[in-house]
Amino acid sequence: MKRALLKFLALAALSGVAACGTLGQVSPWEKGHLAKPEMGFEGDRLDTSFIEHTYSSKEASSGGAGVGGGGCGCN
């Protein structure tokens, strides 16, 4: 009886953990809130765009700093 209960609990815990795997994905079309300027880390947008410009040219990469600029496959 105890074994069966243990099995049940283990399965319940596992299914809970497995279900979490589906939570983490934000689809490209669901990024409306993330795309808002206030969702970014920067304080000043102009200053950040200068820093981003320098950084991406030094690193030969761009995007990934926000939804509009990358990560959503837009630019």
- Decide whether 33 or 47 has the Cβ nearer to other proteins: 33
Show the binding pattern over residues 3-42: x = contacts other proteins (CB under 8 A), - = does not.
----x--xx--xx--xx-xx--x-xxxxxx--xx------
d(CA 12, CA 7): 9
Size of site (CB under 8 A) for other proteins = 24
Beta strands in 1-75 (DSSP E): none
d(CA 64, CA 41): 12
d(CA 61, CA 59): 5
User: Binding residues for other proteins, per CB under 8 A?
Assistant: 7, 10-11, 14-15, 18-19, 21-22, 25, 27-32, 35-36, 67-68, 72-75
